[in-house]
Amino acid sequence: MTIEEITQAIKDDPENTAYTAQGWEPLFHVPATATILIISQAPGRIAQNTKTYFNDASGDRLRD
């Protein structure tokens, strides 16, 4: 799958339709050298507004 296909699949997931309808884009980073993808955190308002994943209180908790 390409990054574009992954992004579209995330946006098309029924559990994400409310967020997609609000214009929230999936936040993720995939290095070209990655062989697996680990997904974590449901970004909140702060992370979405800054378009920076883990940029909120839950991100701070995950790092702790």
The torsion angle over the Cα atoms of residues 55, 58, 63 and 64, rounded to 10 degrees, is 140
What's the confidence (pLDDT) of residue 40? 63
pLDDT confidence band for 39 (50 / 70 / 90) = low
In this structure, the chain runs to a length of: 64
Express each pLDDT in 2-37 by its tens digit: 888 988 998 899 988 888 898 888 887 778 888 876
Sequence spans of domains, the chain: 3-63
What's the confidence (pLDDT) of residue 14? 93
Model confidence, pTM: 0.57
